């Protein structure tokens, strides 16, 4: 996901239903929408496995609010055509079973409901004044329009069957299973995704579109879905998706889905990585290809965030830091190391600027998920991967990345899982590295001074760490035309190098390999 400046409120995480009791296996959503009102009518058939003995189960669903006139009203819950009792709370629905459900048992229930979504499903007019309907779930806003276990830790297969006025084209996860014209100018469209997804990337989109099949990559069809008025710009901008998809398949591993659709939409984000149906902000088209990094970022999420999903949002950097850095790696492969250095320098500056107003580590167990859309999760997270790559070398780094992806493909992972894979592949204890860069609130702030001694023909260098806790890192310095490395571990590090003449250049981190701030000065 690429951030935008939009600000929105989320209900506090601790208000919602707890779901440790179950593991959802599959959702089947049937939705009816119209052009007369914003009311949606839905039926959710949910198949799940009980993880423990239970008498009831809860699903997230924001229910009708009298004051706003928005929210969902559940009209019935059934199991095998038998009515079940239920209670609707403010933000969830609890379903009671007539008999106790044993651990390991599978159940299927059907929840029928209707209402006007307060959020999550954006029913509005696009920039051309046309009515559109787009899901916009991140981080936990699916609950505003579908009953679900709205957490990244519970992934499930999903299908959407949408009945809508026939002027709409419908995009969703997976492949089209049915498209049928109905009486009264209605159309039924059904999509099915058999790969398990987190709810944050389960979506539908309805609009008038121009659709282009731009080709296939490894038998995966690639599509562009653009508002007709923007078709020329959109088809040009999105054409690069084939190159990006090819690079990720080659360098990371197999693509998990059966299509890739890049979709112009009304998402409040710059881009939203919905599985196999990426939504981009309607204003991000340029017609000159300059949004290539945006496409690379969202396509990267198909591997990191969608296929391998963080267990909880405190590990969001496993999505956003990865998508940011792998965008950088794609651009490096296409345009050269100078482009990588340019991106990393900009990312370092943004993260350091952010650190001036935020005292938090990258791994942050906050319940304010939106606050995690910050320069630590994205840019500093990317820098952690870059420093890990430089620490271990390209061969080990790429081997570990492929191992991580293959191990957790279709599953959830946290930061310790990532570390374990890298330690296994590299044979290196990486706990200190992960601890200081991901769990520590600070970063190196350096005051570097140097003095040249013409008689001894040497340069003396003093490195002072000014942050609270000393970090352990290699610091490269360009002295004249040579690059030297100092292993910095303490608050104060002093070292000397032979130097025939006073250096005309003294540059910290010339190859852009360290996340730090600071400066150097000559001492006479």
Give the N- to C-terminal CA distance of the chain in Å, as an integer: 50
CB hemisphere CA count around 462 (13 angstroms):
11
Query: What average pLDDT does range 22-32 have in this prediction?
Result: 99
Distance CA 260, CA 277 (A): 6
Does 524 have pLDDT greater than 90? no
Q: In 3-state terms, what secondary structure has residue 436?
A: helix
Query: What average pLDDT does range 490-510 have in this prediction?
Result: 97
Distance CA 263, CA 279 (A): 5
* pLDDT at res. 1: 81
Where are the extended beta strands (E) located within 256-387? 260-265, 271-272, 277-281, 309-310
Q: How confident is the model at residue 173 (pLDDT cuts 50, 70, 90)?
A: very high
Contact present, 300 and 329 (Cβ < 8 Å):
no
Query: What average pLDDT does range 215-227 have in this prediction?
Result: 99
Q: How confident is the model at residue 256 (pLDDT cuts 50, 70, 90)?
A: very high
Contact present, 38 and 120 (Cβ < 8 Å):
no
Q: What pLDDT, in 10s, does the model give residues 79-90?
A: 999 999 999 998
Q: What pLDDT, in 10s, does the model give residues 102-159?
A: 999 999 999 999 999 999 999 999 999 999 999 999 999 999 999 999 999 999 999 9
Does 293 have pLDDT greater than 80? yes
Q: What pLDDT, in 10s, does the model give residues 336-392?
A: 999 999 999 999 999 999 999 999 999 999 999 999 999 999 999 999 999 999 999
Q: In 3-state terms, what secondary structure has residue 405?
A: helix
Query: What average pLDDT does range 510-515 have in this prediction?
Result: 99
Does 197 have pLDDT greater than 70? yes
Contact present, 211 and 195 (Cβ < 8 Å):
no
Going along the chain from its start, the domains and CATH numbers come out as 12-206 (2.60.40.1730), 209-304 (3.30.2010.30), 309-438 (1.10.390.10), 445-522 (2.60.40.1840)
Q: What pLDDT, in 10s, does the model give residues 312-342?
A: 999 999 999 999 999 999 999 999 999 999 9
* pLDDT at res. 15: 38
* pLDDT at res. 487: 98
* pLDDT at res. 18: 52
Tell me what the pLDDT averaged over the chain comes to.
96
Query: What average pLDDT does range 67-80 have in this prediction?
Result: 98
Residue-wise DSSP of 250-266: HHT----SS-EEEEEE-
pTM, rounded to two decimals:
0.96
* pLDDT at res. 5: 40
Which one, of 273, 297, 270, lies nearest residue 282 by Cα?
270
Spacing of C-alpha 51 from chain mean position: 27
């Amino acid at each position: 996901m690429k951030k935008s400046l939009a600000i929105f409120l989320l209900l506090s995480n601790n208000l919602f239903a707890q779901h440790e009791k179950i593991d959802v296996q599959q959702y089947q959503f049937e939705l009816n929408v119209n052009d007369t009102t914003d009311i949606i009518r839905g039926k959710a058939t949910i198949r799940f496995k009980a993880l423990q003995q239970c008498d009831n189960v809860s699903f997230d669903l924001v229910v009708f609010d009298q004051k706003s006139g928005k929210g969902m009203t559940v009209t019935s819950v059934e199991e095998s055509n038998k009515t079940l009792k239920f209670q609707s709370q403010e933000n969830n629905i609890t379903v009671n079973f007539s008999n106790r459900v044993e651990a390991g048992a599978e159940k299927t229930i059907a929840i029928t409901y209707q209402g006007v979504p307060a959020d999550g499903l954006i029913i509005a007019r696009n920039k051309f004044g046309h009515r559109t309907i787009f899901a916009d779930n991140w981080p936990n806003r699916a609950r505003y329009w579908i009953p679900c276990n709205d957490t990244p830790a519970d992934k499930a297969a999903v299908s959407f069957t949408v009945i809508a006025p026939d002027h709409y084209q419908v995009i969703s996860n997976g492949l089209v299973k049915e498209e049928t014209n109905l009486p009264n100018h209605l159309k039924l469209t059904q999509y099915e995704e058999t790969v398990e997804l987190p709810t944050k990337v389960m979506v539908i989109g309805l609009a008038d579109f121009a659709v282009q099949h731009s080709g296939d990559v490894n038998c995966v069809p690639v599509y562009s879905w653009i508002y007709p008025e923007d078709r020329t710009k959109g088809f040009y901008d999105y054409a690069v998706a084939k190159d990006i998809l090819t690079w990720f398949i080659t360098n990371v591993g197999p693509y998990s889905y059966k299509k890739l659709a890049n979709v112009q939409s009304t998402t409040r984000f710059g881009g939203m990585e919905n599985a196999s149906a990426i939504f981009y902000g309607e204003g991000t088209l340029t017609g000159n290809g300059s949004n290539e990094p945006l496409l690379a970022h969202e396509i990267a999420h198909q591997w990191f965030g969608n296929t391998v999903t963080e267990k909880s949002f405190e590990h969001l950097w496993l999505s956003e830091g990865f998508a940011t850095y792998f965008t950088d790696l794609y651009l490096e492969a296409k345009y050269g190391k100078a482009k990588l250095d340019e991106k990393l320098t900009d990312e370092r500056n943004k993260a350091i600027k952010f650190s001036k107003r935020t005292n938090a580590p990258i791994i942050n167990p906050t319940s304010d998920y939106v606050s995690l859309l910050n320069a630590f999760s994205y840019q500093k997270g990317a820098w952690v991967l870059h420093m890990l790559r430089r620490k271990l070398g390209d061969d080990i780094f790429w081997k570990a990345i492929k191992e991580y992806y293959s191990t957790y493909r279709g599953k959830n992972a946290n930061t310790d899982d990532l570390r374990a894979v890298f330690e296994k592949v590299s044979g290196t204890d990486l706990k200190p590295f992960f601890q200081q860069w991901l769990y520590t609130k600070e970063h190196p702030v350096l005051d570097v001074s140097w003095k040249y001694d013409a008689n001894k023909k040497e340069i003396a260098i003093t490195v002072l760490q000014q942050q609270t806790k000393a970090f352990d890192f290699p610091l490269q310095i360009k002295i004249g035309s040579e690059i030297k490395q100092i292993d910095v571990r303490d608050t104060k590090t002093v070292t000397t190098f032979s130097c025939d003449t006073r250096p005309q250049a003294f540059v910290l981190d010339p190859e852009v390999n360290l996340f730090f701030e600071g400066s150097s000065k000559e001492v006479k």
